[in-house]
Amino acid sequence: MTQTPVRFGVVVFPGSNCDHDAYYVCRKILGQDAVFLWHKTADLRGVDVVILPGGFSYGDYLRCGAIARFSPVMKEVTRFAARGGLVLGICNGFQILVEAGLLPGVLLRNSSLRFACRYVNIRVENPFTPFTGACAKNEVLSIPIAHGDGNYFADADTVRRLEENGQIVFRYCSPEGEITPGSNPNGSLGNIAGIMNEQGNVLGMMPHPERASDAVLGHTDGLKVFTSIVEHVFSRTIPQLREEGDSVVVEQGRR
């Protein structure tokens, strides 16, 4: 019995510039299904996973992600997430998730007040998520960043809850995995590079895993995020039985 491909939906906002990168990884590298979702749509087209890609949605006017949160597609993404659907927000996508209230905290200007674009090291704090199942605890991944507003901040109570619930998924670190001020590219509180919601189905991260998923580019650490998602969705695929006449038919269904 063949496995139904995981169906990724990549949202396209005016100003998105990493949508095709994410689509390429899902469809060409992983061999899964992928569709683009225009920001004005109210139909998620039966996807298993939604990706909010990087870029500069609506020109980053007002605040990064502040306008995108009101787009029709985000109303559907919010409903999708509430039902347990997997949502991955990358860079600008992370900013949109925060603005939409799907993740806590805010993303401020980089402490340097400069745009940061380079490879960084991030440490996997929680490997027991749909997005990190292919990683080991404290594994160090080399993944690029490209942002001017990646400085994560939240109040003390929020940070405490994130820590206690294992919602901090990635931290910026040294190549050896040490959490140091020098390894923090944007001043992010606690070197936070990525967090998830309490339910564990929504992840926002500033580094770009889609830009480190093809061997041609010399780095493939980011591919672990996508393979983790695929493995998680496949793990929810179970045989379901239904009677048809005098026979029993096995169907594939996702919980």
- The residues assigned a catalytic role are 91, 208, 210
Nearest one of 215, 132, 206, 149 to 172, comparing CA atoms:
206
SS3 (DSSP) at 249: strand
Query: In what helix (H) or strand (E) does residue 230 lie, and over which residues does it extend?
Result: helix 223-235
Query: In what helix (H) or strand (E) does residue 228 lie, and over which residues does it extend?
Result: helix 223-235
Q: How far apart are CA 74 and CA 71, in angstroms?
A: 6
Report residue 19: phi and psi, to 5°.
-65, -45
Check if the beta carbon of residue 92 is closer than 8 Å to that of residue 54.
yes
SS3 (DSSP) at 161: helix
55 Cβ contact list (under 8 Å, min separation 6): 13, 15, 16, 17, 18, 19, 91, 92
Q: Which runs of E-coded beta strand occur in the chain?
A: 7-12, 33-38, 49-52, 86-90, 106-108, 116-124, 140-147, 151-153, 168-173, 192-196, 202-205, 237-244, 247-254
